[in-house]
């Protein structure tokens, strides 16, 4: 999949409750990129499906600016592409390249999705590769 553009539609409480995270000095991100959470309190692109969500990049960060932090919005509504079908009101998670997908039901392996693995919920129904509004609530 190619990296998709995510549009911030609405900020909650006019700020979106941004949080500051460490971010690699030679890494880059664009406004709206979906960021995953790494240890210790570090944000990066979501490289594989289902990484814990840090939020939505509030600012652009260049790979050459030597900055080592980025702000991520943690409470907002975004317009994003779905990876697979999503159902209105159901939880979603971040996937690679700025997509969201439906959180799978707990499997026979007793995998339970909770905390930052659930980035928010879908505000609309959507099919695969269709744009959908998602409420991010971290």
Q: List, for residues 20-53, the tens digit of each pLDDT value.
A: 999 999 999 999 999 999 999 999 988 888 889 9
Q: In angstroms, what CA-CA distances link 72 with 4, 83, 84, 91?
A: 17, 22, 25, 20
Instruction: Give me the domain span that covers residue 128.
Output: 76-137
- The CA-CA-CA angle for residues 124, 2, 8, to 5°, reads 40
Residue at 97 is within a domain:
yes
CA 25/CA 47 separation, integer angstroms: 18
Given a cut of 70, whether residue 9 has pLDDT beyond it is yes
Query: 115 versus 10: which is more confidently predicted?
Result: 10
Same domain, 20 and 44: yes
| Collapsed DSSP state (helix, strand, coil) of residue 116 | helix
Residue at 2 is within a domain:
no
CA 79/CA 56 separation, integer angstroms: 11
In this prediction, residue 77 carries a pLDDT of 98
As for how many domains the chain has, the answer is 2
Residue at 68 is within a domain:
yes
Q: List pLDDT tens digits, range 61-113.
A: 999 999 999 999 999 999 999 999 999 999 999 998 899 999 987 655 556 77
Residue at 32 is within a domain:
yes
């Amino acid at each position: 999949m190619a990296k998709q553009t995510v549009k911030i539609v609405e900020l909650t409480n006019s700020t979106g409750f941004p949080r500051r995270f460490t971010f690699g000095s030679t890494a880059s991100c664009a406004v709206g990129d979906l960021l995953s959470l790494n240890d210790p309190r570090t944000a990066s692109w979501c490289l594989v499906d289902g990484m814990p969500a840090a939020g939505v990049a509030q600012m652009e960060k260049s790979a050459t600016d030597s900055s080592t932090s980025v702000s991520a919005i943690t409470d907002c509504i975004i317009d994003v592409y779905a990876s697979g079908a999503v159902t209105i009101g159901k939880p979603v998670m971040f996937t690679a390249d700025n997509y969201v997908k439906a959180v799978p039901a707990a499997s026979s392996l007793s995998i339970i999705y909770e905390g930052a693995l659930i980035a928010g919920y879908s505000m609309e129904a959507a099919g695969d590769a269709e744009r959908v509004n998602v409420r991010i609530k971290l």
